[in-house]
Amino acid sequence: MYTLKDNNIQRSQWGSKIGFILAAGGSAVGLGNIWKFPYLAGENGGGAFLLVYLVTVAIIGFTLMLAEFTIGRYSQSDAVGAFKKIDKRFGFIGFIGVIASFFIMGFYMIVGGWSLAYIFKAITGAINSTDSIVLSGAFNELVINDIQPIIWGGIYIILNIGIVWSGINKGIEKASKILMPALFVIMIILTFKSLSLEGAMEGVRFFIKPNFSEITPKVILNAAGQAFFSLSLGMACMVTYGSYLSKSENLVKNAIIVPLLDTFVAIMAGFVILPAVFAFGFEAGGGPSLAFVTIPAVFSTMGANIGTIFSTLFFVLLTIAALTSSISMLEIPVAYLIEQRKWTRKKAVLLTSIIVFVMCIFSSLSNGKLSYLTIGGKNLFDFYGYVASNILLPFGGMLISIFVGWILGKKNAINEATNGGTIKFRLAKVWIFLLKYIIPVLILLIFLSGLGFF
């Protein structure tokens, strides 16, 4: 336990090194990798998208991840408090993160609910087919329904409440420790199965061979936004998680492992889904249905019994991967309400969840009954995601980068990141240089190009 000198709040800490990596990795690895990444790649030119995505992760991923860990552990405070403690004027950066977390939870919990529903569809054999009409039928029937996805989303939210209710090491850390490794194993099995399908190579080519003429401003903005989303960056989520890290942890190492792990899982998901899309003759631009249609098809080629067992297991693990991410989003406003507004954890968890549930009702209905409600041509479900990934997270990331480079400053930042100089970090100066100059400009350029300036 670490006791803050100035306000005497007892803050908890991660129980072990591996506990933190799994929790931060659990936050990063989620629906973003397995559900969203493959369909965005499918919609945005495959290899072109992958290339921009990888470049963004390589330049921005590690630097910002370390920046967020550094702010969090330096100030040992929630999203808003962390910035405020370093400089009173900058609490708003964390507040952008709090707002972003609501936008994300407003659709993420619904997709978590879809995943829960699919566990039961898998058990009953309803999705044991390779026929795209059967599989898209099952998906559409669920998502455009007025009530079902809302009930599943509600159950999914209750699972989140259950974990975050007990706080970080009892709930979040313990859950991640068991669940993350299991997901890894099943993804590897799926990758092999999918790659062995007849016609899979066309999908592999689509996924890894960039067609440079397809790297448009829209693809760049989508890929960069997805990188932020998938790495849980730009919304002070990793600040919040970093704030529970002990002073002896190696931040630099963690900031390398987590993006690598996350990218590895996203690429694996690409190798599961896109080859199967081509092998079965599905539509690569199929949007949010892609994973839910393709993955059951891959399983059904394993025969009725084995297919049913594996696909049930898969959706259990997908739900779990989603859970380890959504609890990290929920923890952002919760930690803020506890530390800045002095609420009890239980009250903070409940109130936040109620707001999220209401937002979820609207986003779910926007896939059906309320589909006429559009903003900029997007229904609410897509709009929440667009605002978060393509606007709030990159913008937040830009501010975080500037904040560490210019406000926290070189000396403090390097001192914190290297545990007072006891950890070797040869690229420390490069890191600060990137944060100060390169990343803010890069993000600005991505924005301007996304908005059609070039």
> Which residue's CB is nearer to ligand PHE, number 138 or number 337?
337
d(CA 426, CA 431): 10
When binding is defined by CB under 6 A, the residue of 26, 32, 47, 333 that contacts ligand PHE is 32
Name the helix (H) or strand (E) containing 11: strand 10-11
When binding is defined by CB under 6 A, the residue of 19, 30, 38, 296 that contacts ligand PHE is 30
- 107 is a site residue for ligand PHE (CB under 6 A): no
> Which residue's CB is nearer to ligand PHE, number 32 or number 113?
32
Going by their DSSP bridges, the two strands 10-11 and 378-379 should be labelled as unpaired
**Neighbour count for residue 250 (Cβ, 10 Å):** 18
How many residues would you count in the chain? 454
Q: How many residues bind ligand PHE (CB under 6 A)?
A: 15
> Which residue's CB is nearer to ligand PHE, number 104 or number 413?
104
Site map for ligand PHE, 190-229, x if CB under 6 A? ---------------------------------------x
Q: Is the dihedral of CA 268, 270, 274, 275 positive or negative?
A: negative
Chain centre to alpha carbon of residue 409 = 28
Region 223-262 residues binding ligand PHE, contact defined as CB under 6 A = 229-230, 232, 235, 237
Region 328-387 residues binding ligand PHE, contact defined as CB under 6 A = 328-329
Tokens of 34: 């397995």
When binding is defined by CB under 6 A, the residue of 194, 311, 325, 340 that contacts ligand PHE is 325
Q: Which stretch, 23-31, 120-128, 146-154, 280-288, contacts ligand PHE (CB under 6 A)?
A: 23-31
Region 85-104 residues binding ligand PHE, contact defined as CB under 6 A = 104
Q: Which of 188, 205, 167, 196 lies closest to 345, judged by CA?
A: 167
SS3 content of the chain, % helix, strand, coil (to 5): 75, 0, 20
> Which residue's CB is nearer to ligand PHE, number 325 or number 367?
325
> Which residue's CB is nearer to ligand PHE, number 32 or number 203?
32
Q: Among all chains, which residue has been given the structure tokens 């249905």? A: 289
> Which residue's CB is nearer to ligand PHE, number 13 or number 230?
230
Q: Is the dihedral of CA 167, 168, 169, 174 positive or negative?
A: positive
Q: Which stretch, 13-21, 26-34, 54-62, 182-190, contacts ligand PHE (CB under 6 A)?
A: 26-34
Q: Is the dihedral of CA 375, 377, 381, 386 positive or negative?
A: negative
d(CA 272, CA 77): 39
The answer to whether 313 touches 246, Cβ cutoff 8 Å, is no
CB 96 to ligand PHE: min, Å? 13
- 31 is a site residue for ligand PHE (CB under 6 A): yes
Task: Using CB under 6 A, list all residues that contact ligand PHE.
Answer: 27-28, 30-33, 104, 229-230, 232, 235, 237, 325, 328-329
